[in-house]
């Protein structure tokens, strides 16, 4: 059995090669990828955030941790896809304008893809108009927005406003997530749903396509 505690340490300490090796070995041994993500990888990023807040970590350490996390996640993504289901709908996803955090957004995108959604991932720093233009191009039924900074959260409401201006609000569902958000905030600005993690995001998206 792989020492999975080492995966946590490798990500927290920003050791990308070690994080990749442990993940590869674990996947070869058929260890559930969701367990790797939920029990080892996300807790490592949470601890990196705690250390940053406490002044023990600075931007370079956070960037290294993020790089190791992304490298491990890239190995897990194809496994999630292989376990995928039938087409359920199309989602346009992105991190909102001004915000460069994409680990959580990538996780949600991978889990949605693995559950049968077609995902159009616009990346980071996505302007409200870009979300809406992509909905027009793809006919997607859901916009999924991620924000990790309190200063970028208002961009979500702006996207809802653009949908309204373009007469699309009743044709497109809006779901949101990211550490600083809450169900209450999401409701206040007119989103159709919020979820606090990637697994819950899949359930929410399924509910929204049938609503």
Which C-beta is closer to ligand B12: that of 29 or that of 145? 145
Give backbone dihedrals phi and psi of 199, rounded to 5 degrees, phi first: -65, -45
CB of 12 to ligand B12, least distance (A): 10
Please give the structure tokens belonging to residue 183: 């169900």
Rounded Cα distance between 184 and 12, Å, is: 31
CB of 11 to ligand B12, least distance (A): 10
- Count helices and strands in the chain by DSSP H and E runs: 10, 5
CB of 108 to ligand B12, least distance (A): 5
109: Cβ contacts below 8 Å, ≥ 6 apart: 93, 119, 121
Summarize as ranges the residues that interact with ligand B12 (CB under 6 A).
Answer: 42, 45-46, 48-49, 52-53, 59, 62-63, 66, 98-105, 107-108, 144-146, 148-150, 175-180, 195-198, 201
Which C-beta is closer to ligand B12: that of 24 or that of 38? 38
Rounded Cα distance between 86 and 69, Å, is: 28
Please give the structure tokens belonging to residue 180: 């600083």
Which C-beta is closer to ligand B12: that of 46 or that of 188? 46
Among 169, 165, 168, 166, which residue's Cα sits nearest to residue 191? 169
Which C-beta is closer to ligand B12: that of 61 or that of 129? 61
CA dihedral angle for residue 168, residue 173, residue 178, residue 182, rounded to 10 degrees: 100
CB of 144 to ligand B12, least distance (A): 4
Which C-beta is closer to ligand B12: that of 26 or that of 103? 103
CB of 20 to ligand B12, least distance (A): 16
């Amino acid at each position: 059995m792989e020492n999975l505690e080492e995966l946590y340490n490798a990500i927290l300490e920003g050791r990308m090669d070690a994080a990749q090796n442990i993940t590869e070995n674990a996947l070869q041994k058929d260890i559930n990828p969701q367990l790797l993500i939920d029990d080892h990888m996300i807790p490592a990023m949470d601890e990196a955030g705690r250390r940053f807040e406490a002044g023990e970590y600075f931007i370079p350490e956070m960037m290294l941790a993020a790089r190791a996390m992304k490298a491990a996640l890239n190995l897990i993504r194809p496994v999630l896809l292989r376990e995928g289901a039938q087409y359920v709908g199309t989602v346009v996803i992105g991190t909102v304008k001004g915000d460069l955090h994409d680990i959580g957004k990538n996780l949600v995108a991978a889990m949605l893809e693995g559950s049968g959604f077609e995902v159009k991932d616009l990346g980071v720093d996505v302007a409200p108009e870009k979300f809406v233009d992509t909905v027009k191009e793809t006919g997607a039924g859901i916009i999924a927005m991620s924000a990790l900074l309190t200063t970028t959260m208002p961009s979500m409401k702006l996207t809802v406003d653009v949908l309204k201006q373009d007469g699309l609000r009743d044709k497109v569902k809006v779901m949101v997530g990211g550490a600083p958000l809450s169900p209450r905030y999401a409701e206040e600005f007119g989103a159709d749903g919020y979820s606090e993690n990637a697994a819950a995001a899949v359930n929410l998206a399924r509910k929204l396509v049938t609503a």
